[in-house]
Every structure is written in structure tokens, then in C-alpha cells.
Amino acid sequence: MKDLTSAIVVSLMPMMLWTGSLKAQSQAAGQENEAAYALLSAADYKAAAAAYQGIITGYPTDILVQSAIIQLGICQFYLGEFDKALASLEKSKTGPALAPEQVELISNLNAQILAAKAMSLPPTDAKRKGIFEQAIKSYTDFISKYPKSSDLEAVNYGRALCEYQISDFEKAAANLRENIQKFPTTPTIDGSRNLLAITLATQGGEMLSKDGGDKDKGLDLLKQAEELLRGIITGKKDLALVNDANFQLGEILFMRAAFSPEADRKGIYEQAAGAYMAVLPKEDIVAMQEDKVKSYGPQKISALRAKNFPLKNKLDKENERELKKLAEITAKPDQIAQALLKLGEIFFNAGKYNESRVVITHVEPFLTSDDEKMRALYYTTMGYVVQNAMDSALQGYEKFQAAYKGKPLGENLPFLIGNMILAKGDNAGSIPYFEESIQIYPAGRLAGLSVAQKAQAQLGLKQYDEALKTFQDSLQKNPSPDVGVVAQFGIANIYRDTSKWDDAIKAFQTTIEKYPSTSQATESAYWVAACTQQKGDNAGAIPLLEKFLASNTESPLVPLATFVLGNAQIATGQSEVGVASLAKVAAEFPDSPPAPFTYFARSQVFAAKQDVAEVNKLMREFIEKYPKDEKVYFAYNSIGQNASSAGKVDEAIATWKEFVERYPEDPRAPSALVSVSELQRTTAERLATNYTSLNEADRVKWKDAVDGSSATIEALLTKYPQSGDVSAALQSYLASQRMLIRSGLKDDAAVEASFQAQAEQASDAGARSKILFALSGFIAEKDKPRALAKMSEAYSAEVVYGPKDIDVYGLALVDSGKLDEAQAVFEKLATDYPAPAGVAPNAAPPLVQEAQAISIFGKGRVAQQRGQTVEAGQFFQQLKSTYPWSPKVLEADYGIAQSLRSQKKSDEAMALLGGIIRAQNATAELRANSFLLYGHIMKDKMATETDPKKKAENCGAAIDFFMKISQFYAGVPVAAAEGLWEGGQLLELQASTLTEESKPKKSEQLARAKACYAQLEKEFPSDKHVEQAKQRLQALGGM
């Protein structure tokens, strides 16, 4: 605790020579002596020294000269002229024989002057310790010669102080305890208590700071010191010493807090703050001490005139003591500034960074030492660093480096500044600070971490080679083991993170061999096994993992190693053993990072065995065990999908509803609602595609399911209007509304009204726009111009629409000739759904791939319309090569088929249409339209065919294609209705060529024609062909 040395009160208390018993040979000499004495008593040492020198020079033979020489030595002592003072005392011995009390005084003064001389030297001066040892010898000689001296307390104190200064703490403490035992009630004994407290605190501080030091003993010594200081403060005998004791108590408590358990620190810091705040300003202490000193002058003169020599002697000694104390107080810096600085540091350690900065900023102008100014700047800068106040932190750092570069206190600053910048994502900006940390403090405790963080920043910049070189360069400098292990381990990690498994294994093995007793070596043993597993050698990894687990039972890596072991066992066909290993992680280490993953890994094993019950059980256990884990959605998803696959639709719906109820704020709650809506609609579809064919009870169930599907989406739009799932939800909503149209429970106008109502109720402008877009898609099936107008009105470049909505809108713009607008819309779609960084386009999430495919197709269509045949071909080729699964590829083929039909290339067109109809990834609408186009082509062929037989065959084929649309694709109303109309017309045409004897019969075909018209009227009442169908049905005699 050497930093307390400057605060020590040096209570050197020489006894002034009493001159009242000596009679001057001349009256003038006596008067000058009395005047000099008054100056000395008033602490005007320079004037007193001149006065005594005048007596010595002016009255060389007077009996007072010897005492004047001694008093001159005392003045020189106080003036810091230590060698002159020692010379004066030595000179006083050359005259007549000194009185015994004078010899005693000189012996005492010699020790004190030597002590003061040593104290005045800087700690680095090689002579300092030797002079202290001389002073200690002088004090010891005095004690041996004058064991009953009235100054024994002060002398013993002076010796202890010197012993403290040369770090002989045991002797110092022993002498001070002797003082306290022998002189427990003297007015000055608190000085010994104060120095003993400082000595014990210094010893305790060294024990706490030393590697391998006895921490418990160190803390106990601090507590003993605190008890002594509190005794001084409580006694209130000496206000100046009480002030010092408050400051020292704050220092000791501050140190004890730093080395105490975390739970105890707050209370100890609060005690330290109280002690610091009790420190009074220097000016108050000086004023009180000056008043005290001034009170002695009149008292001593009065005692001298009354010839009360015992009182005079007592007052002399007290006056001398207080004069010395005044000199010490005046020479010391104001402790209030130091105390407030420490208070600011306490606030910092308590996490009160703003309060810390306010206190330190206030006290900064009053700090005097470089050390205090450095600490003030350090803690102010650190506060900004911790609070991530980048600009202020950097300014403070630059000031610190300019004034105190290389100081141990600031060792963590460049490292922390680099970390702060790195945390903000500025990898390049952080590197210079880590480099400064390594350069300024190459052997510091943060050197290894600085190397590691520099490499981390380089890795963030994908500078793998540079990061590797950072670690390798560090190793080439033959660093200390604590730095070397960080570099070697870092090299291994880079190889691991770049999937260079063999190099990683070798580097981790080197870490084990070179640094066997480190935590990195233990971790490397795990990574050797894990990398072996990662490179595909599960069989080779198993014994390595088992060895690691057997040798490191207390390692924090045990859960992860057990998890990897379980996966390796499963991969080698040991599924039961592997599942048991994974279950062990969940049971014994439920709070470890891999524990939640074990449920999904085990469920995969049971899923492969088609043990759905066990999968669901595991997922339920996971949900209850980790209700706040982000993977809880996937647990519900697994349960819901299992129920849906098993045909347990109600159970699946209940699962998703439970998820939404328990996690309404989860970002995937809207997606869960879409799943609920789809399942509710599926319930209706499983009852029947034709509502009219159901009995009354099933009709109620059917309608409840469809209405429930719609209500679910309406709830989603109300609660989650800003969700990215709104577009998908609206498609589900539209599908339910179409079912109501086919059932005859709604018409087109009612559906439009439903969408319009949802748009008006929407609380979010983006959701309102998406609703109108979905409505426009519905309108576009029958009235593309009106749909385009509504979409154009609702469109906002700020809204992210669903890919299907943009598909409809963009193609409508193309068809209307607004090619620039269409181009912008398709480009925006690609921007709204970008492929994740580092992920191949064909490996992106499905929604992203769908959006990108639509964008490419749309830009191809724009190029086509502009006559840019080559560019269009490039877009379509990109579409086919990147997203061959996309329905847009088939749409391109459909467009080509339309073109081929117009060019009379029927066979080529039909070949393309056949491929679309058979394609698994074609949408229902595209297939329905392909059937319709195929029927029209066969109708074209029938019209141009001259061979009656082939003509009849083409007619039959056309009828077949038209009629299948309503049978297979009733959900595509425009195509289905047109197919029924065209089929009925062709059946009438065919019947006109038949008789009742032919096959088929004429009446049979007319009956089929009437059935087509009746179905069209019933299932598609809003279709444009309905009125014509009614007329034909009536003309044929009705049903």
C-alpha cells in the first residue's frame, strides 16, 4: 500500500530548549533571545533563524550562544536545510559542556533531522534507505540511553515511521503497538494508532496484490486498520488527524472492496464513500490549526513572566507539536480533492458512470499531482467507453495517450476502445487500437487477448490469411506462454472455422503438446474430437470424445461433448446408445446450450422410425422445459405437421391455436394463423368440393369451416397488420371466398365488399394496400383493366407485397403497355426478397426463390414486349437454369404455346401444353388454362379438318378437355366456367350430326349439354357466360 505514504503525518516533535533558567550576560542579548523565541513560536522560521544568527554573531561570548546555536539548528530543520541543521547541532557541542537536557535534545534532534532528510528524497534515490537506517539507529540509541525520557513516545513513533519507509513493517508495527500499550491516554497517541493503521493496511495490500498471497490474512489486516482509524475518528481528539483518518479509512475500504466477494462490494464501497465525504477542505483544517497555534504565544509569555517554569515547559512542548503539525498540514495537498476523486472512482466501480463523471469533472481543476490527473482522465474516459459514447471515448483516449502513454493504469484502454469499435461492426476501425495495445504493452496481461481480438476483426473482414498471420507473427516473437497459447489456439480456431479439419486437428494437438496445463489445452482436446466428427469420421470421433469425457468430468464442455458423442453414435448406427447420450445431456445439463437441441436430434431418430407418438412426446417436453426458447415454434410446427399428415386436422388446428395463444408476440404467430386458416379450409374441402351435394348437417360443418378460415385471417389482419405474412394470409382468405362463390353462398360483389371492408378497417397503410392488391388479383380474373386501375391506385413503393400480388400487377402493366412501370415493379420485387449473403440463389428460402423467379420472368416479359428478343431469351434461360422448378418456367412455355397457336403451329403448342398439364409444380390456374387452351386448339383443328372422321375425333377431344376443367379445377372459376360453356356448345354441335341410333346418341349429347349449362349457372352464377347458358338451357327444354 505504498500509495498511502504521501498521506502519512510525520509527527516529529522536538522539545524546544527552555532558556528561561539561563541568564544572559547582557540585557540586549536577553531581549533579542526573547524576540527570536517569539518568532520561532509563531512559526516564522526564516526570521527566527536570522535572529538567532544575529545573537551568535553579536554576542559571541554570551552564555546564550550555545542555546542560540541549538535553536538555529531547529529553525534550519524546519526550513528543510537538513545538513546545516546537523552542522549547527554538532557545532553546539564545541563550546562549554552542555547541560544533560541539551545533550538529550541534540540526540533527539539528530534522529529527527536524518529522518526528515531521508523523507525529502525521492523514492528512487539510492541514498534514501541508508539515511533512514541512520535515523533508525539514532532513534534506537536515544531509546537505549534515555529509556525514561518524556519524549520516548515521539522517538519510538519516529523510529517506526522510518521503519515503515524502508518497508520493515513488522518492526514498525511492533514499535507502534508498544507505544499504544505504554502511552494509551496521551494527547498524541492517536498518531501512533494512525501510523499503525497505515502499516497494517500496507501489509494487507501487498498480500492481496501478490500472486499466491494470503488473501484472508490480507483482508484481516485491512479490517484491523479500519478499526484503529474508526477509533481515532470516534475519539475526535485531533481534528487534523481525524481528517487524515477519514481519508485513510476511505482508501483502505476502497482497497478491501476490490478484493472482497462480489456480494459484499456494494456495502463496502458505500462505507468508503461515506469516509471520503467526511474529509474536510484543507483551508478549514489549516484555519483551525492556526488558531490553535496562535493561542500558545500569549500563554507562554504569561507563564514566563510569572516564572511558572513547569507550565512554560509544558506549553513549549505542546506549541512545538502543533507548530510542526501546522507545517505538515500546510505542506500537504488538499485531501478534499483526492477524496472526491476517489468518490468518483467508487461511483465508476458501482456502475454510476454519469455520477462518476460529474464528480471527477468538478474536482479535476483542483488536482495537483500527475498521478491524480492521470486517474481522473482514465476514469472519465473509461466511463465513456462503458457507455459506448464513441466520440467522447476516443477524445479521452487520445488525451491519455498524449500525456500518459505506456502508464500501467491505462493498459486496458486501447484494448477496450478496440472492443467498443469492434462491437459496432467496424472491424477495420478496431484493428489499429488492438495493434496499439500489443505495441505499447507487449508483455501486458491483455497482450494475448489483443492479438486474439485483432485476428477476430480480420476474420470479420474475411481476411482469413491476415488473421492467421497475426497469430503466427505473435508466435514467432517467442511470447510468454499466456500469450503464446492464445495465438496457437487462435490458429486452430481459424482452421476449424474455415472447415480445414485436418489442419485444425493438427493445430489443436499442438496446443495440447505445447501448453498442456492450460484451459485452451483442455478445450483443444474436445475440438480434436469434434473436428474429427465434422470431417465425417464419426467412428474415429467416438473414442476421442469418450476419452475427453472420462478425463474432464468437471469441464464446461462436457454437455457439448456428450451431445456430439450422441450424434456420432447415431450416425454410426448406434441409435439407441446415441439417443441415451442425448437424453443424458437434457437430464443432467438442462441449462447447457446443447440441451434444447437434443430434443430435435432425438425426434429425428424417432421420425425415421415413424414413431410419431415419441416425436410428439419429445416436442411437448421441449415446449414445457424451454417455453422461452426461440425453437419452440418448430416444436409446435412438428406436432402440427404430424397431426395434419395423420389426417387429424382438428388436432393440428388446436396445436397452432395454442401456439398463438401462448406466444402472441412471436413473429411467427401470424404464420401459425395462416396454417390454421389453411387447415380450416381443408376441413371443408374434405367434406366435399360441391357444397350442394352435402346433407344439411354436413353443410353446417362445411360453412363453419370456411367461415372459420376467413375469420382467422380477419383476426390476423386486425392484430398483425404489419406482418410479412399478410400477403399469404390474403391468398388463403381469397381461397375461402372462392369456395363460398362456388357454393352459391356469395357472389363476386359480396366478395369484393368483404375485401373492401377489411381494407377500410386496416390500421396500417401497408396492410390496406396489400388487401386492395389481393382484391385486384380477384378482379383481374374477369376485368383486368379495372384490376389494374385499383392496383395502380393502391400501389406504394414503400410496401413489400407478396410475390404473387406483384406477379399479377406487373404482368397487368405489361399487358397494358406500361413497360417502364412494370420493369420497376419487377426490379423492386427482387430487391424486397434478396438471397441471404453467401447463399446460392437456388439454395435461398422458398419465398425468396419464388420472388426472384417471378422477377426474372417479369423482366423477360418486359423485354419480349419491347422486342428485345435476345435479352428476353437470356432472362428465360436464367429462369430455367436457376429455378427449373418454378411455375414461371411453365408460364413461359404457356405463353409460347399461345404464340404457336396464333402461328397455326398446333402440334408444337400441344406438346408444350401437355408438359405443363403433367408438371407437378404447375399451379392449378396454369393447368386449368392449359386444358382450356388445349381445348381451343382441338376446336381449331376440328374447324379446319376436312376428313369427317378426324373432324369428329377432334370435336370429341375438344369436348373432353373443356369438360375436365370444372371436374379437376373448380377452384379456377373463369377457366372452369368457360370450359363448361365451350363444352356445352360443342356437345350441341356434335348432337346435330348424330341420331338416336348412333353412338353416342343424339339425346345423350344434348342431355350432357344441358348438364353443362345447368352446372355453369349453379356453380358460377357471376360468370359472363351465365345468361347465354340460361338461354340455351331454356331452348333445350330445361332440366
pLDDT above 60 (res 986): yes
Task: Tell which of 147, 181, 215 closes a domain.
Answer: 181
Residue 1038 maps to a domain = no
Residue 7: the pLDDT is 33
Asked if 447 and 438 touch (Cβ cutoff 8 Å), the reply is: yes
CATH number at residue 89: 1.25.40.10
Total domains, the chain? 3
Q: Which residue has the higher pLDDT, 567 or 236?
A: 567
Same domain? For 19 and 147 the reply is yes
Which domain covers residue 291, as residue numbers? Answer: 280-332
Residue 99 maps to a domain = yes
Residue 9: the pLDDT is 33
Mean pLDDT, all residues of the chain: 89
Distances (CA, A) of 68 to 18, 336, 540: 11, 40, 97
Residue 4: the pLDDT is 38
Residue 17: the pLDDT is 42
Q: Is 810 helix (H, G, I), strand (E, B) or coil?
A: helix
Cell of 100: 544533560
Same domain? For 51 and 140 the reply is yes
Residue 241 maps to a domain = yes
Same domain? For 235 and 305 the reply is no
Mean pLDDT, to the nearest integer, of 158-168? Answer: 94
Q: Where are the alpha helices (DSSP H) in 781-845?
A: 784-794, 803-815, 819-832
Same domain? For 48 and 121 the reply is yes
Same domain? For 142 and 56 the reply is yes
Predicted model pTM: 0.59
Mean pLDDT, to the nearest integer, of 1006-1015? Answer: 92
Same domain? For 9 and 113 the reply is yes
pLDDT above 60 (res 220): yes
Residue 62: the pLDDT is 87
pLDDT by residue (tens digit) across 760-803?
Answer: 999 999 999 999 989 988 888 778 889 889 889 889 888 898 89
pLDDT by residue (tens digit) across 669-722?
Answer: 999 999 999 999 989 988 876 788 889 999 999 999 999 999 999 999 999 999
DSSP state, residue 972: S
Mean pLDDT, to the nearest integer, of 988-1000? Answer: 89
Q: In this structure, which amino acid lies at residue 1036?
A: L
Task: Tell which of 117, 146, 181 closes a domain.
Answer: 181
Same domain? For 204 and 260 the reply is yes
Same domain? For 171 and 230 the reply is no
pLDDT by residue (tens digit) across 75-121?
Answer: 999 899 999 999 999 998 888 888 888 899 899 999 999 999 999 99
Torsion of CA 934, 936, 939, 945, to 10 degrees: -70
Residue 127: the pLDDT is 94
Sequence-distant (6+) residues with CB within 8 A of 919 are 890
Residue 225 maps to a domain = yes
Residue 12: the pLDDT is 37
Q: Give the whole-angstrom CA distance, residue 1014 versus residue 1031.
A: 11
Q: Give the whole-angstrom CA distance, residue 537 versus residue 597.
A: 21
Q: Give the whole-angstrom CA distance, residue 934 versus residue 859.
A: 27
pLDDT above 90 (res 37): no
Mean pLDDT, to the nearest integer, of 30-51? Answer: 89
Residue 37 maps to a domain = yes
Q: Residue 337 — pLDDT band, cuts 50, 70, 90?
A: confident
pLDDT above 90 (res 921): no
pLDDT by residue (tens digit) across 847-905?
Answer: 899 999 999 999 998 998 898 878 887 888 888 889 888 888 888 888 788 878 888 88
pLDDT above 90 (res 25): no
Q: Give the whole-angstrom CA distance, residue 173 versus residue 137.
A: 17
Residue 23: the pLDDT is 52
pLDDT above 50 (res 618): yes
Same domain? For 148 and 57 the reply is yes
Same domain? For 9 and 111 the reply is yes
Residue 63 maps to a domain = yes
Same domain? For 229 and 203 the reply is yes
Mean pLDDT, to the nearest integer, of 536-565? Answer: 95
Which phi-psi region, left, alpha or beta, contains residue 22 (left: φ > 0; alpha: ψ -120 to 50)?
Answer: beta
Same domain? For 115 and 231 the reply is no
Q: Residue 1039 — pLDDT band, cuts 50, 70, 90?
A: low
Residue 50 maps to a domain = yes
Length of the chain: 1039
Q: Residue 11 — pLDDT band, cuts 50, 70, 90?
A: very low
Task: Tell which of 231, 261, 277 closes a domain.
Answer: 277
- The candidate with the shortest Cα–Cα distance to 472, out of 460, 310, 462, 458, is 458
For the chain, state the CA radius of gyration. 49
Mean pLDDT, to the nearest integer, of 159-184? Answer: 94
Residue 620: the pLDDT is 96
Taking 3-state DSSP, the helix, strand and coil percentages for the chain, each rounded to the nearest 5, stand at: 75, 0, 25
Residue 699 maps to a domain = no
